Copies of this chain bind each other. A is one copy, B any other.
């Protein structure tokens, strides 16, 4: 099989399969078939199936950490708008990967390896809610965070079409009416 970089190709295919069928619902067999190599080759490049998942999520988690760090420097008055724009861009850029974090593998969020991700999503949720204590705002933020991630997985439309619609619905739902 002629291929530029087998490792990257494995990650690309795994991201597709994991988001489509779930982590548990995707076997190494299926990934290998789609890549065009053997299971053994997969496990030469990655120590385990879990390692593939972690390699996949790591860059997205890093970008998420960057967004959250940036939001900490933003003033309360505009933090919601900044969080919405940043999150929509992030989720469209890591379409498969960030979506995984929110939708496909909730059980994995409780694993030790994801201990760094959970506080980040909590902070992002707080930013979406406008850093208020009102539980209603928190619930609204959860709806939008999860809903946006879900659409990005399931919807076939491209980023250019989704971006304004996603930002629009989040603003209407979360920002005070003008």
Contacts and interface: CB of A to CB of B under 8 A. Distances in A.
Interface residues of A, number: 39
A140 B167 CA distance: 10
A162 interface: yes
A29 to B, nearest CB: 14
Interface in A8-26: 20-25
Interface in A120-178: 135-136, 139-140, 142-148, 150-151, 153-155, 157, 161-162, 164-166, 168-170, 172-174, 177
Given A147-B144, A148-B147, A139 B169 contact: yes
A150 to B, nearest CB: 4
Interface of A: 20-25, 102-103, 106-107, 135-136, 139-140, 142-148, 150-151, 153-155, 157, 161-162, 164-166, 168-170, 172-174, 177
